[in-house]
Amino acid sequence: MPRAKYRESDVDLMARLMRAEAEGEGNQGMLYVGNVIVNRLVSNCLDFEDLRTVEDVIYQVQGGNYSFEAVQKGNLFYQRARSNEKRLAKMTLDYWRDHPAKHALWYFNPYAPCPPTWYGQPFAGQFKNHCFYEPAPDTCDGVYIG
């Protein structure tokens, strides 16, 4: 049973975002971005309540901007998904999770050392240039299921 309900068009959309956000960090970095997308979809808490589809997650607007910078600014996001990224997207939708993004709901590239918290949420770990943050204990149980 997959971690999240999805359609083939969701795989394509997610693959495009994973590539746009983390192509420079290789397959592993793209998988971590995929973890965050799926975690936001299944968590139903904090900033991510009532997100029901992959499309809802990717096109979510917070504070007047898209949650993912690549949707707003990324040329790669608007290119066709390649087979490798589709395979990675399907893996994260179906089963793949790993530290530091296993339970992460946020990531960013600080262009400096990772801060110990991000908007009050604890640092989970770093992969190359991206810092990952998971919800504080007892604030978002949905992300820890599965």
pLDDT in tens, the chain (146 residues): 899 999 999 999 999 999 999 999 999 999 999 999 999 999 999 999 999 999 999 999 999 999 999 999 878 899 999 999 999 999 999 999 999 999 999 999 999 999 999 999 999 999 999 999 999 988 998 888 76
* Cα end-to-end span (Å), the chain: 10
Of 45, 57, 25, residue with least CA distance to 132: 25
Specify the pTM. Answer: 0.96
Beta bridge partners of 121: 118
- Report the distance separating Cα 131 and Cα 115, nearest Å: 8
- Report the distance separating Cα 90 and Cα 106, nearest Å: 20
In angstroms, how far apart are the furthest CA atoms of the chain? 39
Asked if 34 and 18 count as a contact pair (C-beta separation under 8 A), the reply is yes
